[in-house]
Amino acid sequence: MTTWLLIGNSGYEIVAGIYKQADLVRVSTLLSVIGEDAVKAFDTFVWSEGQKGDSIKDVLTKFDEYCKPCTQVIYERYRFNNRKQEAGESISAYVTELCVIAKNCAHDEMQSHRAEQLAIKDNC
């Protein structure tokens, strides 16, 4: 995926002179230079209604989604449930850290409430 990041950020289409070409040419050029791993990823993309694999905008959107980091919710929940207040750590810093971890736990609305509950439980 390093190739994808370099191409996406370097103005490759301008340098190669293809930015004014038809989408099919632009997608084909991208796939020919992006690398084997990215082509394999492209082959797995599922196109929703209205999206096309020969539209440069849709292809770039799919690669952006593909390259977005994924959160390991189970691991983050483990971290959240096992986080203890460290010696010398203020209650404010502890609750803040719990809230930061909770954002990755898919707890949504109850994040800060649960963090406060844990902090109270650990300090009573």
How many structural domains comprise the chain?
2
Same-domain pairing of 59 and 108: no
Number of other residues whose CB lies within 10 A of the CB of residue 47: 12
Average pLDDT, the chain: 79
Domain check: are 46 and 95 in the same one? Answer: no
Q: Between residues 5 and 92, which one has the greater pLDDT? A: 92
The token pair that represents 124 in the structure block = 């009573």
Provide the residue range defining the domain that includes 37: 2-67
Residues 94 and 78 placed together within one structural domain of the fold: yes
Confidence of residue 6 (pLDDT cuts 50, 70, 90): very low
Please check whether residues 86 and 49 belong to one and the same domain. Answer: no
Residues 28, 83 share a domain = no
**Is the pLDDT reported for residue 61 higher than 70?**
yes
Please say whether the beta carbons of 26 and 13 come within 8 A: yes
Verify that 57 and 82 share a domain, yes or no: no
